[in-house]
Amino acid sequence: MTRLFNEPSAFADEMIDGFVAANSAQVRRVSGGVVRSTVSTPGTVAVVIGGGSGHYPAFGGIVGQGLAHGAAMGNLFASPSAQQVHSVAAAANLGGGVLLTYGNYAGDVLNFTAAQDRLNSEGIETRTVVVTDDIASAPLAEKHKRRGIAGDLTVFKAAAAASEAGYSLDEVVRVAELANERTRSFGVAFTGCTLPGAAEPLFTIPEGRMGVGIGIHGEPGIDETDVPTADGLAELFVSTLLSELPEGISSPDGQRAAVLLNGLGSVKYEELFVVYRRVAQLLEEAGVVIVEPEVGELVTSFDMAGASLTLFWLGTEEGSELERFWRAPADTPAYRKGSVGAVEQAAPAPTEALDAGLTENIPPATDDSRAAAAVAAAALQAIAEVIDENVGELGRIDAVAGDGDHGIGMQRGSRAASSAAVELLAVGSGARTLLQRSGDAWADRAGGTSGALWGVALRAIGDTLGDSDAASGAAVAAGVRGATTGILGFGAVVGDKTMVDALVPFADALEAGIAAGRPLTQAWADAADAATTAAAATAQLLPKMGRARPHAEKSLGTPDAGAHSFALIVQRIATVLKEQDSK
Amino acid sequence: MTRLFNEPSAFADEMIDGFVAANSAQVRRVSGGVVRSTVSTPGTVAVVIGGGSGHYPAFGGIVGQGLAHGAAMGNLFASPSAQQVHSVAAAANLGGGVLLTYGNYAGDVLNFTAAQDRLNSEGIETRTVVVTDDIASAPLAEKHKRRGIAGDLTVFKAAAAASEAGYSLDEVVRVAELANERTRSFGVAFTGCTLPGAAEPLFTIPEGRMGVGIGIHGEPGIDETDVPTADGLAELFVSTLLSELPEGISSPDGQRAAVLLNGLGSVKYEELFVVYRRVAQLLEEAGVVIVEPEVGELVTSFDMAGASLTLFWLGTEEGSELERFWRAPADTPAYRKGSVGAVEQAAPAPTEALDAGLTENIPPATDDSRAAAAVAAAALQAIAEVIDENVGELGRIDAVAGDGDHGIGMQRGSRAASSAAVELLAVGSGARTLLQRSGDAWADRAGGTSGALWGVALRAIGDTLGDSDAASGAAVAAGVRGATTGILGFGAVVGDKTMVDALVPFADALEAGIAAGRPLTQAWADAADAATTAAAATAQLLPKMGRARPHAEKSLGTPDAGAHSFALIVQRIATVLKEQDSK
């Protein structure tokens, strides 16, 4: 239960303010997150981490000497936007290139990748290593699909220590990849978490039961059992992790390993220590030499009750490269070891204002295009309204198979876009300018996967409409086709049960209706019905094979959240178009 | 909710094992708790802290360079026994004297004072400073009655830094007393906590409500309100603490202060940061210069949801003695700042076995006394049984006005005593030896107030019975009188609504019955009835005036836990005596 908040939508921002106020010796705020407030060595690689908020100390809490140079801090459980990642990386850049490293979640991959492209295009050499330590999240053969959980810390720390050692970007990437290969985690959870202002937990687990392998946002796990004893949990953790040793390690006997026992939030230190007692015994019985273990809260999930065990395999040789990097000193708000030596406070740099220039340099537009822009603004307002009405339901639907952030992400994005559109309309923007800049506002404020996709969609429609022409049915259909092409470019295909399952039939129907000579309002309404039918068809009708899902009973009949919100939106816009016609 | 445990009664011990295994770089285990595993400066003052477990990082988590030299770690929410405190202090002693410093709770005061007496008698000069920072726990005029909460940390840290600076014991005491005078805390809670194996929380607060000024074991607070916003809580915290400035500080304007925003367990870091944002703003508006703030979990209450704010007033001068001590480096498992420089691991010392010598050197005893010892052992077994049957109820009763540990403390103590008695009987102990050694086992294993009192009681009865004579009614009555005198020596008086409200009428009735020539069994049964009547009369019939109590409705009609358990015990022993007679 989250009790202490003001306006729920301001929570993440206020949290970062308070965090920075309390930890100014190590971090300072920049647009999109935080960077070190202390001087780092010029010319070294900047290690930039990030992800959604709600996982403290991940990610801002582990910025500082010996660990990350900066952290992009998204909204609660939502990826930072590409602009946030870019802004933090640019501020953290020391001239030696940038390593982006973060847990493997679709929204993060999308936004960090876009930021990487922009950084590289600006001449800041940027590479990426995603963390994939959660062995329950995909089979070994699909290791690249695994999620990142508490193993974030070992990968980040190895990379950062390599940077402190003066390694080149190539070498830092090599170390980070090796650390990721050598890091394996396995987690369990007993309860869901409740986001600020939410009336109910994101998901629930029956009292006395334990979700095995469940993700840190409640992503489906591999089993559900009764809660074991502390020793029983230690045995489950250790036996599972010893059953999947990294490549090249045939037996745990004689191997050295860092051990992290991580609490997700509501599990107490005392409970973790009772579990750790048995974990250490079991590892020692297996011949593992434990190196500088950590027991505590390293990557949390708000107030979720649960825990995970991470093994970071350092090899048989004492003082190996990975072991030196694990043992290296660090001084961050939430993670400190050894002594980093004397540090100097960096001079504060001006922070980039996110809204700078929204209404500056507005290109000239015709009256026709301004009329189209007014309809677009009305549509954006309608989108914000329909999302507001459905925000709770969208979150619940998303929590069944995803990370539960869809409702709040769409809300932040659509509100930002609608509010930008009002300002842009007032300064005489045409349709292209209004849709492009509103789309940027959506992507930036929403973060996450949906934010990036909707930003692309609005920008594509704006590109097609331009700032001169009236919005003909053909132009709108072409714009929607352009948006579809842009979104498919991220790799989803129809049938994956994502937003594109509704988007593609919608674009097809709209195009066909216009081609058949129907007026836009009619063609849109028909296409919206097609989207609604297609969105409903994304519902899982049978449990996925192979992997047991604690939420199986809930997931049956629940559509994909992105497809569902898409259908709600295009239906509401159909209403807006009808109202416009009747004016 | 506590989910991860094995045998609940083994929880605290297993927790300490795991804690030490995870933090061997800073701490090592000794009988009764932990001491630094690193070398400290010989001849300096040893700062020994402690208290019940369940408050991590208090108390073991803040042992290490720059902070405590050792921590006596009691059972969950129960004071360590005098023997535990003694053992830790003796292991921590560096030859410069010992400062015992801990939060002001009756059980801790009792046991630490007994340990101090023993240390002083052994030539280890020992002094005490109790922490009394919780301004809600008593009015300013009775500051000495206030409880210690998160302000523990500032007092411990100031004392420890003074020791590291080479201060004498007198000077360390002066610094600790000054730090305590300058430290004020104020806390709130939203939920109770659930101890391992307990089916229900120790206490509850209605959903959506907040206990204001409630203690870290659920001790009654001063008000109950709706849960405010994060900013509202910040305003309550700051306005309350600014309304009671320490002596000599007339205005906050220009004052420097360390600020601690402490989470009790289930409140998340993110929530604390949102609250801290406003706390910092308000303090800055009042002219306070914030010095090295801490936001996090410093003194917890298991999984209780709640928070407290602590201000440690350092004075107007930058770099004052208190400020230097606050800023001084520390390296402990849970609290690190700055760099303590190179440290050296200390050679491990052998740990003292608690049970050593239980059945060694048994004095000779007559058959008569062995027969009396057998009855005493049967009585101790009956005590353990009646406590087992009532352990949950005793905890709940105690949580109304106290810290909720009465049931589990009595259970640990009575089980230890009964189990010691069985061993002692087997090796031929007389009544004195059996009762004395069983009483020591009770006091040592139970810790807390009740442990110390029952230890004294059994020892006193044993002293009177001796190892030679049969247990006459007169001897038993005299023993009970001796126990009463010993317990009254701790300062409680009849009418305070404690155990002595039942004990004194029991002793009086027993004595009168024996004097009137009634057989022991009859006299005991009558006296037990008197105790039961007297225990029931300890129930509060009206709410206490002046200070609102969130549990007021529950406290009405609830007897004192110590008096109630005493009555249950003497009634059960009456049954044992009747059974013995009928054999």
The C-alpha of B453 sits at a distance from chain A's nearest C-alpha, in angstroms, of: 28
Contact flag A266-B267 (C-beta cutoff 8 Å): no
Three-state SS letters, A155-222: HHHHHHHHHHCCCCHHHHHHHHHHHHHCEEEEEEECCCCCCCCCCCCCCCCCCCEEEECCCCCCCCCC
What is the arithmetic mean of pLDDT over A40-46?
96
Residue A498 scores a pLDDT above 90: no
| pLDDT reported for residue A489 | 85
List the single residue in A1, A11, A230 with the smallest CB-CB distance to B274.
Answer: A11
Interface probe, candidates B274, B282, B336, chain A, greatest A C-beta count within 10 A: B274
DSSP E strands in A390-515: the ranges are: none
The C-alpha of A82 sits at a distance from chain B's nearest C-alpha, in angstroms, of: 23
Residue A353 scores a pLDDT above 80: no
Using CA atoms, how far residue A396 sits from A212, A400, A564, in Å, is 21, 7, 12
Distance CA B209, CA B306 (A): 11
Burial B102-116 (b: 16+ CB within 10 A, else e): bbbbbbbbbbbbbbb
| pLDDT reported for residue A403 | 67
| pLDDT reported for residue A350 | 56
Looking at residue A258, the DSSP 8-state letter turns out to be E
Q: Token match 């005893």: residue? A: B365
List the single residue in A11, A54, A231 with the smallest CB-CB distance to B6.
Answer: A231
Residue A135 scores a pLDDT above 70: yes
Give the tokens for residue A317.
């040789």
Q: What is the largest CA-CA distance in chain A?
A: 79
- What is the rounded average pLDDT for all residues in chain A? 92
| pLDDT reported for residue B552 | 40
Residue A383 scores a pLDDT above 60: yes
SS3 A550: coil
Query: Whose CA is closest to B102, among B91, B92, B111, B90?
Result: B111
Distance CA B508, CA B499 (A): 15
Cα of B5 vs its chain's centroid, Å? 22
List the single residue in A230, A233, A270 with the smallest CB-CB distance to B56.
Answer: A270
List the single residue in A14, A268, A274 with the smallest CB-CB distance to B18.
Answer: A274
H or E stretch covering A99 = strand A98-103
Please answer whether residues B285 and A21 qualify as being in contact, where contact means their C-beta atoms are separated by less than 8 angstroms: no
List the single residue in B270, B274, B295 with the smallest CB-CB distance to A54.
Answer: B270
Residue A542 scores a pLDDT above 60: no
Query: Whose CA is closest to A481, among A452, A501, A499, A506?
Result: A506
Please answer whether residues B516 and B503 qualify as being in contact, where contact means their C-beta atoms are separated by less than 8 angstroms: no
Give the tokens for residue B463.
């002293």
> Angle B431-446/B406-426 helices, nearest 10 degrees?
150
Interface probe, candidates A210, A274, A278, chain B, greatest B C-beta count within 10 A: A274
Could you give phi then psi for residue A453, rounded to 5 degrees? Answer: -65, -45
Distance CA A163, CA A172 (A): 6
Name the pLDDT band for A543 (thresholds 50, 70, 90).
very low
Could you give phi then psi for residue A42, rounded to 5 degrees? Answer: -60, 145
Radius of gyration of chain B (CA): 24
| pLDDT reported for residue B198 | 80
List the single residue in A53, A305, A337 with the smallest CB-CB distance to B3.
Answer: A305
| pLDDT reported for residue A382 | 95
Closest residue of chain A to B23, computed from CA coordinates: A293
Contacts of A342 (CB under 8 A, 6+ apart): none
Q: How many CB atoms lie within 10 A of CB A83?
A: 24
Give the tokens for residue A484.
């579809």
Domains and CATH numbers, chain B: 8-329 (3.40.50.10440), 367-582 (1.25.40.340)
The C-alpha of B319 sits at a distance from chain A's nearest C-alpha, in angstroms, of: 17
Please answer whether residues B66 and B36 qualify as being in contact, where contact means their C-beta atoms are separated by less than 8 angstroms: no
Q: Does A353 or A578 have the greater pLDDT score?
A: A578
Please answer whether residues A214 and A399 qualify as being in contact, where contact means their C-beta atoms are separated by less than 8 angstroms: no
Distance CA B526, CA B573 (A): 12
Q: What is the ipTM of this complex?
A: 0.86
Instruction: Name the catalytic one among A55, A69, A86, A217.
Output: A217
Contact flag A295-B11 (C-beta cutoff 8 Å): no
Closest residue of chain A to B343, computed from CA coordinates: A338
Residues of chain B contacting residue A61, judged by C-beta atoms under 8 Å apart? 269
Residues of chain B contacting residue A60, judged by C-beta atoms under 8 Å apart? none
| pLDDT reported for residue A467 | 95
Residues of chain B contacting residue A307, judged by C-beta atoms under 8 Å apart? 4
Amino acid at A219: E
What is the arithmetic mean of pLDDT over A466-491?
92
Separation of first and last alpha carbons in chain B = 47
| pLDDT reported for residue B197 | 81
| pLDDT reported for residue B556 | 60
Residue A5 scores a pLDDT above 90: yes
Residues of chain A contacting residue B305, judged by C-beta atoms under 8 Å apart? 1, 3
| pLDDT reported for residue A555 | 54
Contact flag A266-B1 (C-beta cutoff 8 Å): yes
Residues of chain B contacting residue A19, judged by C-beta atoms under 8 Å apart? 273, 276, 295
Residues of chain B contacting residue A6, judged by C-beta atoms under 8 Å apart? 229-231, 274
The C-alpha of B234 sits at a distance from chain A's nearest C-alpha, in angstroms, of: 10
Give the tokens for residue A45.
């690689």
pLDDT tens digits in sequence order for chain B, 583 residues long: 889 999 888 899 999 999 999 999 999 999 999 999 999 999 999 999 999 999 999 999 999 999 999 999 999 888 999 999 999 999 999 999 999 999 999 889 999 999 999 999 999 999 999 999 999 999 999 999 999 999 999 999 999 999 999 999 999 999 999 999 999 999 999 998 888 888 788 888 999 999 999 988 888 889 999 999 999 999 999 999 999 999 999 999 999 999 999 999 899 999 999 999 999 999 999 999 999 999 999 999 988 999 999 999 999 999 999 999 999 999 999 999 988 777 788 876 655 554 568 888 899 999 999 999 999 999 999 999 999 999 988 988 887 766 677 888 899 899 999 999 999 999 999 999 999 999 999 998 888 888 999 999 999 999 999 999 988 999 999 999 999 999 998 877 888 888 999 999 999 999 999 999 999 999 999 999 999 999 998 886 654 433 333 444 445 678 889 999 999 999 999 999 999 888 7
Q: How many CB atoms lie within 10 A of CB A519?
A: 13
Angle, alpha carbons A155-A158-A159 (nearest 5°): 85
The C-alpha of B404 sits at a distance from chain A's nearest C-alpha, in angstroms, of: 18
Closest residue of chain B to A21, computed from CA coordinates: B277
Distance CA A406, CA A336 (A): 34
Using CA atoms, how far residue B128 sits from A192, B101, B107, in Å, is 45, 6, 15
Give the tokens for residue B48.
């020994």
DSSP E strands in B80-220: the ranges are: 98-103, 126-131, 183-189, 209-212
Please answer whether residues B452 and B112 qualify as being in contact, where contact means their C-beta atoms are separated by less than 8 angstroms: no
Instruction: Name the catalytic one among B86, B217, B406, B564.
Output: B217
Interface probe, candidates B231, B273, B283, chain A, greatest A C-beta count within 10 A: B273
Closest residue of chain A to B13, computed from CA coordinates: A274
Q: Please, is B13 exposed, middle or buried when counting C-beta atoms within 10 Å of its C-beta (0-12, 13-18, 19+)? A: middle
| pLDDT reported for residue B491 | 78
Reply yes or no on whether A217 is catalytic. yes
Distance CA A388, CA B118 (A): 68
Residues of chain B contacting residue A3, judged by C-beta atoms under 8 Å apart? 190, 227, 267, 271, 305
Residues of chain B contacting residue A16, judged by C-beta atoms under 8 Å apart? 273
Residues of chain A contacting residue B272, judged by C-beta atoms under 8 Å apart? 4, 18
| pLDDT reported for residue A83 | 93
DSSP string across B209-241: EEEET--TT----SEEEE---HHHHHHHHHHHH
Distance CA A129, CA A172 (A): 10
Q: Please, is B347 exposed, middle or buried when counting C-beta atoms within 10 Å of its C-beta (0-12, 13-18, 19+)? A: exposed
| pLDDT reported for residue B256 | 98
> Angle B473-488/B448-465 helices, nearest 10 degrees?
140
| pLDDT reported for residue B357 | 80
Q: How many CB pairs under 8 A join A and B?
A: 183
- The sign of the torsion formed by the CA atoms of B244, B247, B253, B259 equals negative
Contact flag B4-A336 (C-beta cutoff 8 Å): no
Residues pairing with B76 in the sheet:
B53
Give the tokens for residue A265.
């939030």
Query: Whose CA is closest to B435, among B474, B471, B463, B416?
Result: B463
Closest residue of chain A to B337, computed from CA coordinates: A336
List the single residue in B3, B11, B334 with the smallest CB-CB distance to A227.
Answer: B3
| pLDDT reported for residue A339 | 82
The C-alpha of A547 sits at a distance from chain B's nearest C-alpha, in angstroms, of: 26
Query: Whose CA is closest to A97, among A60, A66, A122?
Result: A122
For B222-280, how does the pLDDT look when each residue is reduced to its tens digit (9 = 90+)?
Answer: 999 999 999 999 999 999 999 999 999 999 999 999 999 999 989 999 999 999 999 99
Name the pLDDT band for A549 (thresholds 50, 70, 90).
very low
Q: What is the largest CA-CA distance in chain B?
A: 79
